């Protein structure tokens, strides 16, 4: 069973639909025991960092998410879900993230000809032999929607990057914790292949 964590963030249903398409048993839940009992856990989301952390605390999910990620359960953060795994974000000064991974979320700088939010298809540069990217071609295109991006402290955990005026850490992996800034559930065949690699993890 894959648990998709419900903390009042958007985009949950499209993640559920993609995982069900791959033949998975999926449960959308904010229940602590159900999350802890799941075989795999997904933290999706679109929206604001500060609001999301407030919702996580209000629903009593902060320690549960940390426990399930740190005890070895395969865990996938998507878009805002990636950002929340880190320590802090320029979007919400003074608000602490989950702190499961080390790094910060910073605003994409204003540049002539570059629209913010970054919205659309970008190619991935694959690096460091990420398990989510087995069988995925270099420069495959995936779909992004974001105004803030990750700067991971340890570049060794970065498994895919992209360029949008700046160098963006687009996907990370550390032990059982995986995360994508882009939306695999909206990235056509490439995205489904990435999700399939996640659901096949043992």
- 79 as an active site residue: the answer is yes
Residue of 118, 146, 169, 183 with catalytic role: 183
- With CA atoms as reference, report the closest residue to 3 among 18, 30, 14, 22: 30
Residue 50 near residue 92, CB atoms below 8 Å: yes
- 183 as an active site residue: the answer is yes
Residue of 16, 91, 173, 185 with catalytic role: 185
Residue of 16, 33, 79, 141 with catalytic role: 79
Residue with tokens 């105004």: 147
Indicate which residues carry an active-site annotation: 79, 183, 185
């Amino acid at each position: 069973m894959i648990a998709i964590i419900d903390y009042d963030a958007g985009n949950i249903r499209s993640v559920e639909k993609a995982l069900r398409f791959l033949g998975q048993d999926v449960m959308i839940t904010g229940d602590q025991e159900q999350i802890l009992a799941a075989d795999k856990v997904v933290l999706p989301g679109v929206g604001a960092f500060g609001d999301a952390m407030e919702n996580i605390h209000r629903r009593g999910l902060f320690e549960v998410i940390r426990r399930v990620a740190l005890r070895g359960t395969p865990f996938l953060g998507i878009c805002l879900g990636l950002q929340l795994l880190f320590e802090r974000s320029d979007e919400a000064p003074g608000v602490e993230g989950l702190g499961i991974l080390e790094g910060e979320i910073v605003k994409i700088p204003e540049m002539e000809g570059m629209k913010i939010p970054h919205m659309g298809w970008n190619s991935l540069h694959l690096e460091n032999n990420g398990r989510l990217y087995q069988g995925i071609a270099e420069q495959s295109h995936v779909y992004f929607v974001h105004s803030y991006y990750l700067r991971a402290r340890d570049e060794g955990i970065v498994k895919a990057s992209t360029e949008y005026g700046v160098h963006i850490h687009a996907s990370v992996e550390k032990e059982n914790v995986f995360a994508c800034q882009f939306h695999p559930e909206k990235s056509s065949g490439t995205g489904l292949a990435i999700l399939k690699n996640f659901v096949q993890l043992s």
